[in-house]
Structure 1
Amino acid sequence: MILYELVSFEHLRLIWWLLLGVLLIGFALTDGFDMGTGALLPFVAKTDTERRVVINTVGPVWEGNQVWFILGGGAIFAAFPPLYAVSFSGFYLALFLILSAFIVRPVAFKYRSKREDPTWRARWDWALFFGGAVPALLFGVAVGNVLLGVPFHLTPDLHSVYEGGAFGKLFGLLRPFALLCGIVSLAMLVMHGAGWIVLKTEGVIAERARRFGSIASKVVLAGYALAGLWLAFFIDGYAFVAEPPHDGPSNPLASAVAHSGSWLAAYADRPWIVIAPVMGFLGTAMAGRALRSGGELSPLGWSKMAVFGMISSVGLTIYPFLLPSNTNPDSSLTIWDASSSHQTLFVMLVATVIFMPLILIYTAWVYRVLWGKVTEDDVSNPDTHSY
């Protein structure tokens, strides 16, 4: 009870904004290389044995990695319910495609090698490609739409109304800037997947991964820089006209929001956040260099820095906004007016403090046990129970 009173509502909102970022970044760092590996599968592996090697680099870990996606979605639902309601409604068809890809992927893992038929296996290989490339692309498109603002408004009773119709919920998201963000996201995770393949394989597979990962790093650098320029000169940011109390009730309509210059004005107000895009650029450049120079562990390490920096740069740039509205800025959702109650956030924090370390310890143990390369001999040996 004393601790509950010591941790203010304002601090809990900020803590859960940070934890949400941790969960989403954790998902990108772990399941991100799974998606990147799937997207690279048709290009780095030419024979059936090579494809089995690549598949088995992620086969033992993809299920645990995908838990971060579930944790992130659950955190949005429990900590910021209005964000969950508006985003999952407005992005419904795009999320349906992502979930379809995530459903197809485990089926492909389980059934791909059940038959010797090359046609059967080729179809499941393309299913794995779909399960990796499509979510990687659409997650970036979603981020681009958040930066642009989403066409929704809230009624006086806080019912969300998404404008654009059913098809607009999918094709309306494919705006040029959002597509650029999607390409950057896909290339970033391809680079990340290449780093994983280099770490876990050898020979011609690793060399192909180096080549495609190096190309992806150049696409990321160019696309990330272009997105920054686009954001600086052609996209309006949002700012409070009347800011809600940080410890007040959650009512997005209680604040007044308007377009205000560029999102990048945040870097003038909080210069320290420049560390995030610097990490994004530096990590990408060094990952590409490590891939070209023959590094094994370093490409994945640098790509992790790149992923961390790029995702962090988005959250820090739009802070404290969660989901701006471009049709009615006053309906925009922020961390100060779209959270659950003080008690809910506190109980969730206690549970997180208890269980998050256990998850991290178990994850580290799993990767420690599975450390080492996957070889053609491994997948050819019936005693290894490989995919």
Structure 2
Amino acid sequence: MQDVNNNPVSGATMYIVDTNNGNRSTYNREGHVVNNTADNQYLVQTDVNGNIPQQQILLAANVANSGASNGLNTGTYAWDYRGKNNDDSDLFDIHIWSYNHLYQIIPDAELKGVNGTSLTTKIFEDAGVSETNKSVVDAYTVIDDLDKLYDKAKSFKVDNVTTLGIANSFFTIVGDQLVLRPGWSIVIDQTATEVFSVDETEEIITVNASALRFGSKFSSIQATERISIANGSSIEFGYIDSTGTYKYVELINLTNTDLLVTDFVPSPENVLQENLDFTGTLKTLFESPSDASNTKVKLSRYGYSEWIEIVPENDLSFIREVELIPLPEWSGNQEELLYYTQKILQKSEALKNAFNNPVQPTLNVSNTVTANGSPASEENQQALLNILKRILSKVTNIREKMNH
């Protein structure tokens, strides 16, 4: 077994199971009892050279029906063929699973010949795998993003090839979306005893994660059944399940910023999410309207330009790092406000001293402000507030003097 570059593939699993064509029966004649009614399964892995040692495959078994004794292969004696066609064509499907490669089937392999059958095949890389070292994946103690979820599911399948049916995977890939096998559900539970567990009866995958996030390769999941959380876990990716379509928005490194997510087609707009004066990385998950093409995200902050973006209709996870731009006119206004408030402070100080002291002292004002021509800043705003507080104090003092 080789990859597309002709390198041997080690650790790949070959699986063959014979076909029950309805002719099986325990052989019980001439004092011999041979029970071949069960399926024969052949499970073996390639060595470091990509080879599998020669295997003995049961092609057919002699059976005897109840009735009078007859000669071999006559009368009630017959053959139970194990191949797909229930005859001596001896055709079998060979299934191949490898962690770093796509599932492959060698259909209708003819397993006959005096010295057996020798087969050579190539298998193709699975581009969905992020961590190529399976032993690292097997050692995961938590699964915290969708890339790791895919890797862990693939590793589990390779170790349990008959789970889901031999040819089926837990996930198929459509772009950056994981599509869960129909009929299956996912539960995210940070108290789960196993990192990744599978309940085939209930068709539930349970994942141990406090927060399951979008990954570098995969940003969303689509499922026909439920995607749910338990015991305080959280979902940090967009998804589609049986309850609806949910979009995840993450906006990184905000400062005193207002967020508004709206469906802008109705009049008035329908508010989907709102957060005011938020600082930090904002994470929000909300149910998408039926027409997802009209979802708008708006960020606003006092003294800064607004940022607006329409969420792409097919994007279930919307992650942005936005730097709001200070408004230039606010910079000029702040400089003028600082100049005039300092002048007012000087006048109020002179009035105060006229009541208390005929000798006028020199007033020094020291503020930490941004340089001329710099954008509007919180330092300038704080300086303005400090000066205005001092003016208020001076004017209050003058009023008291005038009253007395």
Task: Confirm or deny a common fold (TM above 0.5).
Answer: no
Q: Which has the larger radius of gyration?
A: 2
So what's the TM-score if we normalise by structure 1?
0.21
Tell me which protein shows more helix as a share of its residues: 1
* TM-score w.r.t. length of structure 2: 0.20
Higher relative contact order (CA 8 A, sep 6+): 1
